Structures are given as structure tokens and as C-alpha cells.
A and B are shown apart, each in its own frame.
Chain A
Amino acid sequence: DAKTTQPPSMDCAEGRAANLPCNHSTISGNEYVYWYRQIHSQGPQYIIHGLKNNETNEMASLIITEDRKSSTLILPHATLRDTAVYYCIALTNAGGTSYGKLTFGQGTILTVHP
């Protein structure tokens, strides 16, 4: 699975958009970009994933560059409850030989302040 690089920490004001970047310059054509978050020692929580196109769900938006070497997770209106560690992970789909195994890096600590 491709290595991903994220900034160690970011701050965001409550109510503003939080934009979390991720670099994955060695990502292969069949690898998806997944985002998970972990709130204060709870189990990680799935946020969103994508392959080439931009994706949006009720939690966030995922913007993937055309060359797929980087992506940005956008929380459109951050709240205090969004304070967490955010992990960007690249891997092939579970049906392939990756068997869905997640490789977690250090992630980005997002702090949302009032």
C-alpha cells in the first residue's frame, strides 16, 4: 500500500471549514484513499473514501487531485466534536489481496477551538 504523509497537527475555528491535506505520491491506480478519525481513544471511525472523483457524504467531502498524488478532506462546518486524530490511508479494495488491512500512520491531530 502507498505511503501517505500528513501534517502532524492543525487548528480550526468552530464553524469554519477544516481542510486536512494528505500526500500519497506513490499511490497506484487501484488504490483508494480512505479517511478515518479517532476521537479521544475511541475506536477509529470511517469518514469517507474515493478513487478518482471527488466524493461527498453527510460527514465530509474528499477532493482528490487529477494526478491522484494528493487529496484533501474537508469538514465544511467544524464543531468542537470534530476534534480528533485524522488518518489518511491508501489501499486496494477488500476484495483484492490487501484483505482490507489498514496501515495507520501518525495522522493529523485536528483541534477545533471556540
Chain B
Amino acid sequence: NAGVTQTPKFRVLKTGQSMTLLCAQDMNHEYMYWYRQDPGMGLRLIHYSVGEGTTAKGEVPDGYNVSRLKKQNFLLGLESAAPSQTSVYFCASISGGSYNEQFFGPGTRLTVL
């Protein structure tokens, strides 16, 4: 199993550009999450999904949109990137049962100039 994978690993955008980050998991997990981590800080939850076709806002959702059209994929979109969105983005997933070990991807480093 590949676990949780993220595409791309690195990206540089100009202010106002758009992009989509892809998260994929091959563990048949129900719940998926997008977090961001700024330098020296802990991770903060952007959006999450508790099943295919569902999404919900986390702690810092502004400026981002998400979609979960397939159970194994969770997409994070930036419609108009801003320098404040420069961060490392982590995706995670769990089975949705009572056991709560979250599996994290390797992260995407995004710089917005």
C-alpha cells in the first residue's frame, strides 16, 4: 500500500493564480482532512470530509475549496492564491471507525509570490 500520497510536492505560484492539490489514499478510509502548517506552528485544519460526496469546514477554510468526488481522493483548491497561503499542506485520512490513528501524507510546499 502507498498509504497517503500528495501531488505535487512543491509549487510556486504568483498572486492570483489558481491551483489544485491532490490527495489520494489506498486504504479505503472514510474520513479525509486537509491541514496547513506555517513556520514554527502546529497544523491547522482547513477542510475535512467524512465520506464520498461530503465536505465540511475546519478552523481556517477561507480562500480554499475542496471536493471529494471519489472516496480515495480529496482535492484542495486555491481559486486566487495569496501570499498568506504560503505554507506546507498536509493531507490525512482515517478509517472512520473508533480507532483514530490518522495517516498523513508527505506534504506539499506551496510558495505564493
Contact = CB atoms under 8 A, between A and B. Distances in A.
Interface string B39-56: 001111100101000001
Given A43-B107, A104-B44, A93 B90 contact: no
Interface string A28-51: 000010101000011111100100
A107 B31 contact: no
Nearest to B90: A43
Report, as a range, how many residues of chain A touch the other chain.
20 to 34
A102 B102 contact: yes
Nearest to A49: B100
Contact of A41 (B44, B48, B88, B95): B88
Nearest to B100: A94
A94 B104 contact: no
Interface of A: 32, 34, 36, 41-46, 49, 87, 91, 93-95, 99-107
23 contacts: A32-B100, A36-B102, A41-B88, A42-B106, A42-B107, A43-B4, A43-B90, A44-B102, A44-B104, A45-B104, A46-B101, A46-B103, A94-B95, A94-B100, A95-B97, A95-B98, A99-B31, A100-B31, A101-B48, A101-B58, A104-B35, A104-B42, A107-B42
Interface of B: 4, 31, 33, 35, 41-45, 48, 50, 56, 58-59, 88, 90, 92, 94-107
